[in-house]
Amino acid sequence: MKSFKLFQFFTLALLFSAFVSQGQTGASADKGTYLNYSTFINSPQAFGGDVDIDLAGVLELGVNGMLDIYGAVSNRGIIEVDSNAVLTIHGNMINDGNIIIHKGATVKFYGKVWKNTVTAKVSDGSVLTNTTPGGELIVDTYRPAISSSWTAASSYLTAYSKETGVQFLDGGNIPMDAIVHLNNPKDIELINSTTRIEGGVKWDANGTQLILGNNDLVFSTNASQDGFTPKKYAVTNGAGHIVKENFSGKWIFPVGIDTNDYTPAQVENIRPNTLHIAVQDYNTSASVENTPFTLQDGVDRTWNIYADTAKANSIVTLQHNDATNQPVYKEFYNFVTRWSGVEENLSGDDYSITSWQENSKVGGLVGVLSTAGLVTGSHMNSRSYSTFATSAIDPIAFFTKSSESFRPAAGAQLLAFTAASMACDVDVEFKVGKEPKIAKYLLQHSTDSVLFTTISTFTPTGDSSTYTFKHLTALDGINYYRLALVEPDETYSLSKVISTEVRCSATSPVVVLYPNPATEYINIAGLVGASEIRILNMHGRVMGAVSTRNAVENIDVSTLPSAPYIAQIITGKKLDITSIKFIKL
């Protein structure tokens, strides 16, 4: 066959003598084995060389069949392994036909790449679908050594003897109705396509990580999993997710971002739904990058969770490593929270001034999301949800855990808090509604958003007040500000952190927008020469535009709906464009 011209083969005479010397019988040719007819094997045998099964070819192992193939396999016909039979493949597999693994049968795969085409089948031979899984498909690179007399007969066999290394699975997005055993200590990687499991996945004694990359691992409704532990799980290091289709009850998603970083999730569906779950750290989660935690009391993990059906009745449980705790995270007092992408978030148990939910705090429990039982050094917490995102990029697809309060202070209603840089100074302004229990306000400043010092103290002047401060000692770069709202008993709460960039050494003016958030108007300052200002919604639609030659332009936004917007400022002869996001309350 043309597909085998690139392979090395050895002669029939040498091969036959080698097999006979070992008490084996074999079938081969100087170009491997080509089948375009039915072959039935019901005794121990071995094929040396690559095996090409054509469209009309059938290779069947009976109940006493044991076949070792020391080479690669290209299957466009049928390979059938009856109960109790064992097929061992030492080279790569390209399956473009039907592989039938009956219950009780075993296929051992020692090759580097197993590839299913989109028209292939891996079935159990049953008419019924998804009732009882087929036999065992063991993916393993603990290759047994081939006898030295065989490898002496042909150097071709050396490549299939006693080798270990990473293996690759290209699932072809076709249902594999078998129990797939992961028994490779060097890891197994999914490549090119989704791997779809109809039978089950089992991490065996020698298995470690299953690397998803950008490919999904999909479990059908009745598919099973077993053997996952804090050392053996799926690594979600790309866009790939573990997917469990149309299930009710509990399902554990054994995921982590790297070796020794097992951070699984569990979903309990009251009504059937399909869930997709992966986990990443903060650096790769766009949602958290946009809003760092004020007190750094979350966990450095973000779970990406979405469903096929938005409407749900589910309990989400997140388990993290204590090593990922941020500096002031409190395990005895925390909650599961979901991102919204828009400040403020009203979807939690209480009002939140950030895009994260504010939920009731409870103590975390020691992690148990593993077949190994208790996971020391891990804790988990849960929350019920009635809706899910339906895509991975939907803002509400991001979940994490925190012990931070995202609520406004109980003693005052903080309506707005803004900071705008003008040359080397920063104008800070905050507005309050009711302030029945406030003794004082402390304005605090930081250059790293972690360590804050008080730069001004304000005495309350009554409800509906506005307070301003000009910070004359701001430093070049990003300056951070927050408010401490102190009550008469000296208890206090903290506002969200805001920031502005100061460019004292800049050679050109800095364009700034204030107040932000805005209610009735915004000011654009730092304009030079003729400028055009456009107000865009988050879909890029222009909601209004104005041309000006003023250094400071006042724009009425009172008629805009409450939402985030972009002020796009086009200035100068070179058409420099500055975009500033602001919130219309």
55-95, pLDDT tens digit by residue?
Answer: 999 999 999 999 999 889 999 999 999 999 999 998 899 99
More confident residue, 282 or 168: 168
Best mean pLDDT range from 330-334, 404-408, 411-415: 330-334
**2 pLDDT more than 70:** no
Mean predicted lDDT score pLDDT of the chain: 84
402 by DSSP, 3-state: which?
Answer: strand
Distant-in-sequence, close-in-space partners of 233: CB < 8 Å, separation ≥ 6:
203, 209, 210, 254, 255, 256, 262, 264
Instruction: Please compute the mean of the pLDDT values over residues 214-222 and round it to a whole number.
Output: 96
CB 91 within 8 A of CB 113: no
For residue 246, give the H/E element and its range: strand 242-253
Cα(412)–Cα(409) distance, rounded to whole angstroms?
6
**12 pLDDT more than 60:** no
| Per-residue confidence (pLDDT) for residue 291, from 0 to 100 | 45
| Per-residue confidence (pLDDT) for residue 428, from 0 to 100 | 93
**128 pLDDT more than 60:** no
| Per-residue confidence (pLDDT) for residue 573, from 0 to 100 | 46
Q: What would the two tokens of residue 537 be?
A: 């919604």
**25 pLDDT more than 60:** no
**188 pLDDT more than 50:** yes
What is the pLDDT confidence band of residue 576, given thresholds at 50, 70 and 90? low
| Per-residue confidence (pLDDT) for residue 130, from 0 to 100 | 53
| Per-residue confidence (pLDDT) for residue 331, from 0 to 100 | 86
Cα(250)–Cα(257) distance, rounded to whole angstroms?
22
Each residue of 358-372: pLDDT tens digit? 888 888 999 999 998
| Per-residue confidence (pLDDT) for residue 96, from 0 to 100 | 96
**Could you tell me the sign of the dihedral formed by the alpha carbons of 146, 149, 154, 158, in that order?**
positive
- Minimum mean pLDDT among 180-194, 235-249, 434-448, 571-585: which range? 571-585
| Per-residue confidence (pLDDT) for residue 360, from 0 to 100 | 87
| Per-residue confidence (pLDDT) for residue 318, from 0 to 100 | 97
Each residue of 296-321: pLDDT tens digit? 668 888 999 999 999 999 999 999 99
The CA distances from residue 171 to 86, 111, 116, 238, 334, in Å, are 22, 15, 5, 17, 40
| Per-residue confidence (pLDDT) for residue 269, from 0 to 100 | 96
**284 pLDDT more than 70:** no
Each residue of 336-353: pLDDT tens digit? 999 988 877 888 887 777
**133 pLDDT more than 50:** yes
What is the pLDDT confidence band of residue 18, given thresholds at 50, 70 and 90? very low
3-state secondary structure 427-444: EEEEEECCCCCCCEEEEE
What is the pLDDT confidence band of residue 179, given thresholds at 50, 70 and 90? very high
**1 pLDDT more than 80:** no
Q: How far apart are the first and last CA of the chain?
A: 71
CA nearest 89: which of 38, 136, 47?
Answer: 47
| Per-residue confidence (pLDDT) for residue 245, from 0 to 100 | 97
Each residue of 533-574: pLDDT tens digit? 989 887 778 888 898 888 889 999 999 998 888 888 887 544
What is the pLDDT confidence band of residue 154, given thresholds at 50, 70 and 90? low
Each residue of 463-514: pLDDT tens digit? 889 999 989 888 878 899 999 888 887 777 788 889 888 876 554 567 888 8
CA angle in degrees (0–180, nearest 5) for 226-301-322: 80
What percentage of the chain has pLDDT greater than the value 90? 47
| Per-residue confidence (pLDDT) for residue 386, from 0 to 100 | 95
Phi (first) and psi of residue 382, to 5 degrees: -135, 160
Distant-in-sequence, close-in-space partners of 575: CB < 8 Å, separation ≥ 6:
none
Residue 567, class by beta-carbon neighbours within 10 Å (0-12 exposed, 13-18 middle, 19+ buried)?
Answer: buried
Instruction: Please compute the mean of the pLDDT values over residues 188-213 and round it to a whole number.
Output: 94
Instruction: Please compute the mean of the pLDDT values over residues 210-226 and round it to a whole number.
Output: 95
**31 pLDDT more than 50:** no
Per the listing, tokens 């803004």 go with 418
